[in-house]
Amino acid sequence: MSDYTFRFSKSEKRLVAVLIIIPMVLLFIGVYGGLMQTLFRAGIIQSDPFVGGDYYKGLTFHGVLNAIVFTTFFAVAFGNAIIPYSLKKNLNATIAWIAGILMLVGSVVAAIVILIGEATVLYTFYPPLKAHPLFYIGLTLLVVGSWVASANWVPMYLQWRKENEGKKTPLAVVGMFTTFIVWFIATLAVAVEILFMLLPWSLGWIDEINVMLARTLFWFFGHPLVYFWLLPAYVMYYVFMPKLAGGKLYSDMAGRLVFMMFIVFSVPVGTHHQYMDPAISSQWKLLHGIFTFAVALPSLITAFTIAASLEYAGKLKGSKGLFGWMGKLPYFKKENWFFAYLITGLIIFIFGGIGGIINASYQMNTVVHNTAWVPGHFHLTVAGPVMLAFLGGSLYLVAQFLNKEVRLKAWAMLSPYVYTIGLLIMSYGLKIGGLMGMPRRTNTGASYANPDSVLYQADWIPYIDLTVIGGSIMFVGIVMYIISFFTTVFSKSKGAEEDAIVTFPISEPLHDEPATWLRNFKPYIIIAIILIVLSYTPVIYDVLQATYGGSLPFSPDSPVPLR
Amino acid sequence: MDNSEKLALGLSGFLLVLFFGAIMYAAVAKDIDVPTCITDMDPFVTDTLFQTGPDTYELQMVARMWAFQPSTVRLPVGSTVDLYVTSQDIIHGFKVEQHNVNLMAIPGAINYMRVTFNKPGEFMYACHEFCGAAHHTMAGRFIIEERLDEPEIIGGTL
């Protein structure tokens, strides 16, 4: 089943390339914003030299462009590539293009509104801070576009099932459908928040909204969102990585079990972001905490399965002893640059995973909630394994679909290592700073890190300085990547486009059990819905009966409401 | 599923159960909990501090753009404070350094936590949720003193 090729239509290929290249430009704007934030926080700059404006505007486009726009585009582009490839069926290109255009228009509109300073609300857009209506409309178009794109895959899959009765669905397809099932369920809540609350309120059609309810709906979406980020990376870990390492996937069934567990447990966990919120009873927070521990299990299984697959690869190359395989992996092979993006991500994810369990640990959240620890944590997840796998995947996809050879492979291979070193330094600074009480989402350079301010906190300074050093190294890593990426994009194609074929490194399983009980999504979706209803009904009830009054909209610049 | 896989799965499950056991122990035996629903209290718009017992106080705190009311709270060592926090405009966040108090201040809801100050010193509370242009200047402090005649709050009601 491995190493086969597939011929995509010209239109499909262009679409995948567009869905990778344009978000890459937006990503780079966001990455630039990230670098500026470390400088702002240390008090090195007081205004953004290029975009103008303040720290919080930069923080908004950093979060929205990197965490929401780039990730959603990659997931859709990757699905548009790997699903037709795995099922050997072409996309309905018209629908796929409509979806892509909706997403592009939405993202560009949202980005412009943020850059002109009309939506300085950060990527969580909590009311009663109000953004321009076009910000909410832009995000809606992005989400609707992603729905259309994924709906396009459903008839292909159903057709495949009819033609291949009794056969296992390719693991990559299971993974991508899992990604979008989780995404669809999660985005329903944020669609309700935006379409029935934020947008009409922003347009002035309704005066007041319930802030706690909006916040709770946001987190119904906000935590499964992280699995939407993580799952395409998991697909690459399970499907590509063993093969890139020169081995096999240790267990096919483990992969299928992990994906089904994500469908079941991804959503009924959102309240663990609201441990410190009012108006939700602590026992329901504890229930969401239990489910959060349950959703840690598939990640622990993944850690074992991928490590076992890599161990198998190392042993094939003649490694000795318990840990000898670790020395036999292709870490610094220029031709195997893709492996570097996946292995660095996995190493980072060890720390990201531990931090996640700490955050989820109910009372322990009191120590870290909304401190700089939190961005320290999620840069080790979404800006670690997710970002690196997506960057590696983007370079691979763009070269395949534009029929080019990857250029500057040594740069491309070294970039994730440089980035990882910077990331570990930056996150260490943020995490220790957070434990000392440094708040997140705060322009410390203008107060806590300013020696002239009454709020000056001398003991935070070394850790703020670490974030500057780490952030600058991360930026260098990304610049190396961007140079390799665009040199590849603008290089000459290999031969005529008509002959171009696409191939992915698909791993064979070492243990391949029938696992008939893991072949159908339906029972797992039903269990997920039951758990969601059970875990969220009491939370929503609490929020509605323990809150009073509504909130008028506010601008970030004035304590007086906008109407 | 081979034996090493079963072992890994078993150990993972055991680890998570162990962690969860620690949480339950802290919650049940040590009474360390997270904020819960407060429904037995009338909404308040001004800050107040009053003594409820020999070493116990109730403090009602209002967060607004861009200050905490009160901004300074002076109390004797050993005080236990029932802390109620709300917001009069947008979302704010409240955490006291070196103490396990962390509360979101949200308009339309009252948040509550109890905290005991066992050692003297100054303990800052900085707003930790983005609340607009001057968010980074929104902070206050508890001043805990060995000998104190009169507990007081400063920078309160406007």
Q: Which residue(s) pair with B116 in the sheet?
A: B80
CA B39 to chain centre: 18
Nearest-neighbour CA in chain A from B60: distance (Å): 14
Quick check: is A151 in a domain? no
Read off the pLDDT of residues B15-71 as tens digits, 9 standing for 90 and up.
999 999 999 999 999 999 999 999 889 999 999 999 999 999 999 999 999 999 999
Give the active site residues of A: 223, 227, 377-379, 440-441
DSSP 8-state assignment for residue B115: E
Radius of gyration of chain B (CA): 20
Judge: B108–A548 Cβ closer than 8 Å, yes or no: yes
For residue B112, give the chain A residue with the closest CA: A278
Same domain (yes/no): B137, B101 = yes
Q: In angstroms, what is the C-alpha Rg of chain A?
A: 23
pLDDT at B74: 94
pLDDT band at A1 (very low <50, low <70, confident <90, very high): very low
Average pLDDT of chain B is: 93
Put simply, the answer to whether B126 touches A448 (Cβ < 8 Å) is yes
Check whether A3 has a pLDDT greater than 90.
no
Burial of A319 (0-12, 13-18, 19+ CB in 10 A): middle
Give the one of A300, A370, A436 whose C-beta lies nearest to B93's C-beta: A370
> How many angstroms separate the CA atoms of B99 and B108, rounded?
26
Residue A499: predicted pLDDT: 64
Query: Average pLDDT in the A283-304 region?
Result: 95
Question: What's the rounded mean pLDDT across residues A534-543?
Answer: 97
CA A40/CA B152 separation, integer angstroms: 36
A57, A112 Cβ separation under 8 angstroms: no
B57 and B123 housed in the same domain: yes
Give the H/E segment covering residue B123.
strand B121-127
Min CA distance, B149 vs chain A (Å)?
27
Over residues A428-444, the mean pLDDT reads 96
At residue B156, the pLDDT reads 60
CB-CB neighbors (< 8 A) of A540 in chain B:
none
The number of distinct structural domains making up chain B is: 2
Arithmetic mean of pLDDT, B97-124 = 95
Q: Is B138 helix (H, G, I), strand (E, B) or coil?
A: coil
Contacts of B99 in chain A (CB under 8 A): none
Q: Is residue B96 part of a domain?
A: yes
Picking from A282, A291, A370, A430 by the largest number of B CB atoms within 10 A of its own CB, the best residue to mutate is A370
CB A444 within 8 A of CB A464: yes
Same structural domain, B59 and B117: yes
Range of weakest confidence among A392-401, A416-425, A493-502? A493-502
Q: For residue B158, what pLDDT is reported? A: 43
Per-residue confidence (pLDDT) for residue A297, from 0 to 100:
95
pLDDT at A169 over 50: yes
Residue A362's domain comprises 330-492+499-519
Task: Supply the pLDDT for residue B150.
Answer: 84
Tokens of A250: 């240790």
Q: Output the average pLDDT for chain A.
A: 95
Compute the nearest-CA separation of B111 from chain A (Å).
5
Q: Which has the closest alpha carbon to A175: A232, A226, A229, A223?
A: A232
Q: Please give the average per-residue pLDDT across A240-246, as a whole number.
A: 97
Reduced DSSP (H G I as helix, E B as strand, rest coil) percent helix, strand, coil of chain A, to 5: 70, 5, 25
User: Which of A122, A210, A297 minimises the CB distance to B12?
Assistant: A297
Q: How far is A361 from chain B (nearest CA, A)?
A: 7
Spell out the residues 6+ positions from residue B151 whose beta carbon is closer than 8 angstroms to its own.
Answer: B49, B51, B57, B73, B74, B75, B76, B79
User: Is B139 close to A362, i.e. CB distance below 8 A?
Assistant: no
Q: Please spell the DSSP secondary structure of A381-444, one letter per residue.
A: TIIIIIHHHHHHHHHHHHHHHTT-PPSSHHHHHHHHHHHHHHHHHHHHHHHHHHHTTPBSS--G
Tell me which residues of chain B, numbers 130 to 149, contact chain A at a CB-CB cutoff of 8 Å: 130-133, 135-137, 139
Q: Is residue A37 part of a domain?
A: no
Q: Residue A497's pLDDT is what?
A: 65
Q: Give domain status of residue A430, yes or no.
A: yes
Task: Confirm whether B15 is domain-assigned.
Answer: yes
Yes or no: say if A356 and A445 are a contact pair by the CB < 8 Å rule: no
Residues B138, B67: Cα–Cα separation, whole Å: 5
Return residues 505-544 of A near B (CB < 8 Å).
Answer: 511, 513, 542
Give pLDDT, residue A153. 97
pLDDT winner (highest mean) among A33-47, A70-84, A494-508: A70-84
Give the DSSP per-residue string, A242-287: HHHTTS-EEEHHHHHHHHHHHHHHSSTTGGGG-TT-SSS-HHHHHH
What are the residues whose beta carbons fall under 8 Å from the beta carbon of A163, sequence distance 6 or more? none
Domain count, chain A: 1
Residue A546 lies in a domain: no
Is the pLDDT reported for residue A51 higher than 80?
A: no
CA–CA distance, A222 with A273 (Å, rounded to integer): 9
Contacts of A436 in chain B (CB under 8 A): 97
Which residues 67-86 of B have a C-beta within 8 angstroms of A? 86
User: What is the structure's pLDDT at B112?
Assistant: 97
- Is residue B77 one of the residues assigned to a domain? yes
Q: What is d(CA A125, CA A106) in angstroms, rounded to the nearest whole number? A: 16
Q: How far is B83 from chain A (nearest CA, A)?
A: 13
pLDDT of residue A167: 92
Q: Tell me the H-state helices in A436-521.
A: 461-489
Decide if A179 touches B, using CB distance below 8 A: no
A362 touches B34 (CB < 8 A) = yes
pLDDT exceeds 50 at position B107: yes
For a pLDDT cut of 70, what percent of chain A falls above it? 99
The pLDDT of residue A137 is above 80: yes
- Average of per-residue pLDDT across A151-172: 96
Omega prior to A170 cis, within 30 of 0: no
Place of tokens 């078993």: B10
Q: Is residue B55 part of a domain?
A: yes
pLDDT recorded at residue A140? 97
Query: Looking at the predicted structure, is the pLDDT value of residue B138 above 80?
Result: yes
High-pLDDT (> 90) share of chain B, %: 89
Report chain B residues whose CB lies below 8 A from the CB of A557: 132-133
Would you say residue B39 lies in a domain? no
Tell me the pLDDT band of A47, cut-offs 50, 70 and 90: confident
Residue A489's identity, in one-letter code, is: V
CATH number of the domain bearing residue B59? 2.60.40.420
Q: Could A279 and B89 be called an inter-chain contact, meaning their C-beta atoms sit closer than 8 Å?
A: no
The residues in A 227-286 lying below 8 A from B, measured between CB atoms, are 250-251, 253-254, 274-283, 285-286
Domain range for residue B61?
A: 48-154
| Count of other CB atoms within 10 angstroms of residue A99 | 23
The span from the first CA to the last CA of chain B, in angstroms, equals: 68
Domain-embedded: residue A69 = no
**Hey, is the C-beta of A300 within 8 angstroms of any chain B C-beta?**
yes
User: What three-state secondary structure class fits A557?
Assistant: coil
Which residues of chain B does A283 touch, with a Cβ-Cβ cutoff of 8 Å? 36
Q: Do B56 and B132 lie in a common domain?
A: yes
Q: Which two tokens stand for residue A3?
A: 């190493």
| Interface list for A 195-224 with B (CB within 8 A) | 210-212, 215
Provide CB contacts within 8 A for A266, sequence distance 6+: A182, A185, A186, A223, A224, A227, A295, A528
User: Is it the case that residue A328 has pLDDT exceeding 50?
Assistant: yes
Residues of B in contact with A550 (CB under 8 A): 108
Q: Would you call A436 an interface residue with chain B, using a CB distance cutoff of 8 Å?
A: yes
> Residue B38: inside a domain, yes or no?
no
- Residue B24 is predicted with a pLDDT of 94
**Could you say which residues from 16 to 55 on chain B have a Cβ atom under 8 Å away from some Cβ of chain A?**
16, 19-20, 22-23, 26-27, 32-39, 43
Both B95 and B21 in one domain: the answer is no
What percentage of chain A exceeds 90 in pLDDT?
A: 94
Selected for mutation to probe chain B from A207, A249, A276, A315 (highest B CB count within 10 Å) is A276
- Asked whether residue A2 carries a pLDDT value surpassing 80, the answer given is no
**Any domain includes A386:** yes
Comparing alpha-carbon positions, the chain A residue that sits nearest to B31 is A363
In a domain, A319, yes or no: no
DSSP string, B32-93: --------SS----S-EEEE-SSSEEEEEEEEETTEEESSEEEEETTEEEEEEEEESSS-EE
Average pLDDT score over residue span A403-426: 97
Q: Give pLDDT, residue A498.
A: 63
Question: Do B87 and B114 belong to one domain?
Answer: yes
Q: What is the CATH number of the domain that holds A379?
A: 1.20.210.10
